[in-house]
Amino acid sequence: KAGVTQTPRYLIKTRGQQVTLSCSPISGHRSVSWYQQTPGQGLQFLFEYFSETQRNKGNFPGRFSGRQFSNSRSEMNVSTLELGDSALYLCASSPGAGGNYEQYFGPGTRLTVT
Amino acid sequence: GQQLNQSPQSMFIQEGEDVSMNCTSSSIFNTWLWYKQDPGEGPVLLIALYKAGELTSNGRLTAQFGITRKDSFLNISASIPSDVGIYFCAGGNAGNNRKLIWGLGTSLAVNP
């Protein structure tokens, strides 16, 4: 089974621009979660989508948004980029239902805002 | 947001030593998960625990689901240089809308 893929792997943007990151989950998984990780900060939860609906949301400003398509692929968008948005953005794929809570991560997208 | 108490925050050990780390919470969880993250990569699932008191091994790694359901432990035996990385714990509970709660990680360094 193919793992979780994220594109692009690296991105450099200028403050004020917007960016869209993409995540393809493991085949059959219906849940995609997004996390922001900065050095020494652990995994900060952004949001989770399950069957095209946002099921959970973290404490991030409205500049951060996401969506999920009918094939479970997900995108997240950050508008009006700030220097502090520079981070590793990780998506995680999960079955999303039943007793299995396991999440499987992609390699991440490294975003640098200058 | 809610976080698990993960300790120690960092460890520096000699190759061959055993390692122990733990996560505690004020809330009860139905699932405990342990991950390892290498620099610049996504975390990789090491062990999943689903039953209070459960003890599960994965090679040199052993994890336990605390009997109170409020804590979990990860042990690494006979550490090797490739064990270097950050180890995260996560707790899951249907009552939390299936959202995982994460620890801040334990950074492990191994001196060859």
Each residue's pLDDT tens digit, B32-56: 999 999 988 999 999 999 999 999 9
Can you tell me the distance from the alpha carbon of A7 to that of A41, in angstroms, rounded to the nearest whole number?
A: 23
Low-confidence ranges of chain B (pLDDT < 70): 1
Candidate from A42, A45, A108 with C-beta closest to B104: A42
Q: Greater confidence, B9 or A96? A: B9
For A62, the token pair is 């409205």
CA-closest candidate to residue A29, choices A109, A90, A102, A89:
A102
pLDDT at A99: 80
Q: Which residues of B54-93 are buried (b: 16+ CB within 10 A; e: fewer)?
A: bebeeeebbbbbbeebbbbbbbbeebeeebbbbbbbbbbb
pLDDT at B70: 95
Residue numbers in A near B102 (CB within 8 A):
42-43, 45
Candidate from B1, B43, B99 with C-beta closest to A59: B1
Q: How many CB atoms lie within 10 A of CB A8?
A: 12
Over 80: is that where the pLDDT of A71 sits? yes
A96: pLDDT confidence band, cut at 50, 70 and 90?
Answer: confident
Query: If DSSP codes are grouped into helix, strand and coil, which group holds residue A33?
Result: strand
A52: pLDDT confidence band, cut at 50, 70 and 90?
Answer: very high
Candidate from A45, A88, A105 with C-beta closest to B1: A45
pLDDT at B93: 85
CB contact under 8 A, A43 and B102: yes
Can you tell me the distance from the alpha carbon of A81 to that of A88, in angstroms, rounded to the nearest whole number?
A: 14
Query: If DSSP codes are grouped into helix, strand and coil, which group holds residue B96?
Result: helix
A31: pLDDT confidence band, cut at 50, 70 and 90?
Answer: very high
For B47, the token pair is 């062990």
* Mean pLDDT value across residues A74-87: 97
pLDDT at B95: 77
Candidate from A42, A55, A103 with C-beta closest to B97: A55
Could you give the C-alpha distances from A80 to A20, A63, A70, A85, B24, in angstroms and in order? 12, 7, 27, 10, 38
**Nearest-CA distance A7 → chain B (Å):** 13
Can you tell me the distance from the alpha carbon of B98 to that of B81, in angstroms, rounded to the nearest whole number?
A: 35
Enumerate residues 22 to 81 of chain B having a beta carbon within 8 A of any beta carbon in chain A.
30-31, 33, 35, 40-45, 48, 50
**For residue B15, which phi and psi values (nearest 5 degrees)?**
-55, 135
**Nearest-CA distance B71 → chain A (Å):** 17
Can you tell me the distance from the alpha carbon of B14 to that of B20, in angstroms, rounded to the nearest whole number?
A: 14
pLDDT at B1: 64
**Nearest-CA distance A56 → chain B (Å):** 7
